[in-house]
Structures are given as structure tokens and as C-alpha cells.
Amino acid sequence: MNLLELKSIGHVYLGRAVLDGISLTVADGEMVALVGPSGCGKSTLAQIAAGLVTARHGQVTRSYRHSAFVFQEPRLLPWATVGANVGLGLAGVAASRREKCDKIAAACRRVSLDEADWQKFPSQLSGGMRQRTAIARALVGDPDFIYFDEPFTALDAALRRRMQDLVIACVANTGTGGLFITHDIQEALRICHRIAVLDRRGQGILDCVSVPDAPGQRSDELVFETARRLLRDHPLFSVVEECDERRIA
């Protein structure tokens, strides 16, 4: 069963077409990576898929029960503590105060936030801690579909790997599906079942590459070698490297 179906999505910002003719599906228990040059419309597409932005053209069909979104920036409430921010992910969930506190504590532990930090405010956190708080807020409500928009960019290499493992385990253990935007091909190869490459002007998915074996069962050597080969040989992946504003800057 498909949890998400995008058909011929098109969008326009300020009279300029940002997306055109994008079709993509995500199946039950599948994590699909979305890669493409900076500014090609990845975040816009994810927000359209999640229902946060209404597409000008096309059709979105969502068959999941409950979704969560990890944005490119943490988007925490500055006047709320870590615990209260994570608790926002439980808004509307019928549970006792005790149960909610237990869920919040478990979510914080999953993203390696120490108990001493749960009463801190966002201004008292490092960039990586803020991002982990945002990830905990997404996980706390046990979503069956998660949108990740470059969620690990603020994390150091070790923590980034731990968070990648958390996503892999989440998908393998609970059948969660999702869309995972990243600029890091190795990250996409570690976490995802398929990689969709968006054209540099957001005009269609150039292609989808299926990654062999299940996420979590791929060795570092395989991931490294496959990334090197894709970037060298595959015309789709050269597009990700081209025109990246952050590289040019």
C-alpha cells in the first residue's frame, strides 16, 4: 500500500514556477530520499506533500494515519522548555499527564538529550541540541509517516550517525514510512530504500534509484563505494553536485 502519492505536482511562488510535473509514491514501511540541487524545490515539495502548502497543480493522496515533520531549522517555541517543546508533538493525543511525561522522557532519551537539559530553554541549547529536540518532538507521537528536511545538518559526525541509526530502527521496527531530504548521498544510501533525484529547476523527478539490501544491513564500505560510483558515473547524481548555492558561496 502507498502511504503517499504525489501526481503531477506543480507550484508557483511570486509568479515563478518552482515545481512542475512531479510524481512520486512512498510505500508502507519505505523511506524515500529526495535529493537535488539547492533551491530546486525539495522543501516546497515536502511541505506540499504534508499539506502545509497547497499545490497550484496536481494531486496529493495521503493514506497514513499520523505524520510528523522535522523542518530544515528546529522551529522551537523560544519560551518553552525542551520538555514542553517535545510535548507539542502530543497535542491532541488522549493520554494522562503521567503517560505524556513518560513519552516525552522516552523521546528525549532516544535522541540522547540528557535529563539535565529537559528544563532548558532553546536559547540555552547548542544548535545540535535544538535540532535533536525537534527530532524528539516528531518521534514522541509515534507517527506512521515522517517528513525529514535535512534534519541532521547541525550535528557532529558521531551524533549524526546515531540519529541515522535511530531513523533506520524506527522504519524497520514500526513500519514507519517517510520522505528524507538530504544533500548527503551517503546519508541517503545508509537510511533509505530509494533515492529520488529532483531536476535542478524542480521540473520532474529525473529518476529513482533503488538501493540494494535493507537499510541497516549495508556496510560502510558498500555505502562509500556506491556513493563514489553514483557521483562519478550516474548523470542523475552529478545534478546534485552542480549548482549548489552553498558550494558556490
Query: Applying CB under 6 A, does 42 fall inside the site for ligand ATP?
Result: yes
* DSSP characters over 166-215: HHHHHHHHH--EEEEE-S-HHHHHHH-SEEEEE-TTS-SEEEEEEPSS-T
Pick the binder of ligand ATP from 4, 18, 146, 197 (CB under 6 A): 18
Stretch that binds ligand ATP, among 34-42, 105-113, 138-146, 208-216 (CB under 6 A): 34-42
86 or 155: CB nearest Mg ion: 155
14 or 91: CB nearest ligand ATP: 14
Q: Which residues 58-117 are close enough to bind ligand ATP by CB under 6 A?
A: 72
42 or 132: CB nearest ligand ATP: 42
Give the other-Cβ count within 10 Å of 240's Cβ: 26
Query: Applying CB under 6 A, does 190 fall inside the site for ligand ATP?
Result: no
Grid cell, residue 33, equals 530520499
Stretch that binds Mg ion, among 36-44, 62-70, 110-118, 170-178 (CB under 5 A): 36-44
Query: Applying CB under 6 A, does 14 fall inside the site for ligand ATP?
Result: yes
Grid cell, residue 179, equals 520522505
What span, in angstroms and rounded, lies between the C-alpha atoms of 207 and 247? Answer: 23
Pick the binder of Mg ion from 18, 34, 37, 43 (CB under 5 A): 43
Size of the site for ligand ATP (CB under 6 A): 12
Stretch that binds Mg ion, among 29-37, 39-47, 77-85, 130-138 (CB under 5 A): 39-47
Grid cell, residue 120, equals 532548558
What span, in angstroms and rounded, lies between the C-alpha atoms of 87 and 140? Answer: 8
Q: How far is the CB of 105 from ligand ATP (least distance, A)?
A: 32
Position 165, amino acid:
D
Stretch that binds ligand ATP, among 2-10, 31-39, 86-94, 215-223 (CB under 6 A): 31-39
Q: Of 161, 156, 116, 118, nearest to 140 (Cα)?
A: 118
Ramachandran bin of 167, using left for φ above 0, alpha for ψ from -120 to 50, beta for the remaining angles? alpha
What span, in angstroms and rounded, lies between the C-alpha atoms of 153 and 182? Answer: 9
Stretch that binds Mg ion, among 12-20, 41-49, 106-114, 131-139 (CB under 5 A): 41-49
Half-sphere exposure of 30 (CA within 13 A, CB side): 19
- Residue 18 binds which of Mg ion, ligand ATP, none (CB < 5-8 A, kind-dependent): ligand ATP
Contacting residues for 221 by C-beta, under 8 A, at least 6 apart: none
Contact residues for ligand ATP, defined by CB under 6 A = 13-14, 18, 36, 38-44, 72
Contact residues for Mg ion, defined by CB under 5 A = 43
